[in-house]
Amino acid sequence: IPYCTIITAIGHLYPRLSSVYNYTLILPIATATSERSFSKMKLINNYLRTTLSNENQYQRRTEQ
């Protein structure tokens, strides 16, 4: 008996259990995607902060 047939049969017998099982499979993927997005945003913010800091330092040197 193929695995997908068993899962389909269980899904018909226990629809709530089937939906919980599906969410359990999807959750790690969704979590990794959001973590990747926040990591990229953190890199961009650090770059912008560093660039801004360098520009401020250059302006301070030229003003003196």
Tens digits of residue pLDDT in 33-56: 888 889 999 999 888 888 877 777
Q: Look at residue 62 and tell me whether its pLDDT is greater than 70.
A: yes
Q: Identify the pLDDT of residue 61.
A: 73
- Kindly report the average pLDDT of the chain as a whole number: 78
The number of distinct structural domains making up the chain is 1
pLDDT given at position 39: 92
The rounded distance, in Å, linking the Cα atoms of 37 and 29 is: 13
Q: Which residues of 10-20 are buried (b: 16+ CB within 10 A; e: fewer)?
A: eeeeeeeebee
pLDDT, residue 2, reads 67
Q: What is the pLDDT of residues 9-39, one digit of tens each?
A: 777 778 887 788 777 777 777 778 888 889 9
Q: Which domain holds residue 9?
A: 1-63
Please determine, for residue 60, whether its predicted confidence score (pLDDT) is greater than 80. no
Closest CA to 19 of 29, 10, 28: 10
